[in-house]
Amino acid sequence: MNYANPQIEELFLTFEMECDKAISYMKSEYNLMRAGRANPKLVESIKVDYYGALTPINQMGNISIPEPRCLVITLWDKSALKLVEKAILAANIGITPQNDGTVIRLTFPVLTEERRKELVKQVKKLAEDTKVVLRNARRDAMDSLKKEKNAKTVSEDLISDYEAEVDKSLSKLIETVDKLSKEKENDVMSV
């Protein structure tokens, strides 16, 4: 859409950035949730003190999933196995690593029904929190549009068009949040 002035364009860019940030955060949190399946994202960000530098595990070797509930970390430097094992324990991800001298295995336990329901609650809460952030971004955009309207820098007709555009964007984003939340709920509840 063509905007009347740079302030309006900046307002829309800020609104979109805040909304994108909220949805990206939600996706990353969903990726970190353990749904009883192995997920490499759970250990990728763990940093190991490797020769004096904090190095992420995914830069020290390969992370593979040979079966749905097992994660295998194969390091290029076998002498770092103990360091990686210590870092995983320190990260407190809820899984004890098994070091067999060549690879590190993480076996994910089957989730109980109670734990699944608990995770679904977390999924719903995160979705609701994300919606709150999106609505706050909408409120900020609307307040800025009101200021522009009161300053009479833009016509009232254009302002109402912009407000409608913000509302339309928000409803699309909330649909996306609901869709992502539903997908994660189904993922968590599937055995």
Q: What is the pLDDT of residue 1?
A: 57
Stretches where the chain sits below pLDDT 50 are none
d(CA 109, CA 34): 10
Neighbouring residues of 101: CB distance < 8 A, sequence distance ≥ 6: 78, 81
Predicted structure pTM score: 0.71
CATH number assigned to the domain with residue range 41-107, chosen from the 4 options 3.40.50.2300, 1.20.1330.10, 2.60.120.10, 3.30.1360.40: 3.30.1360.40
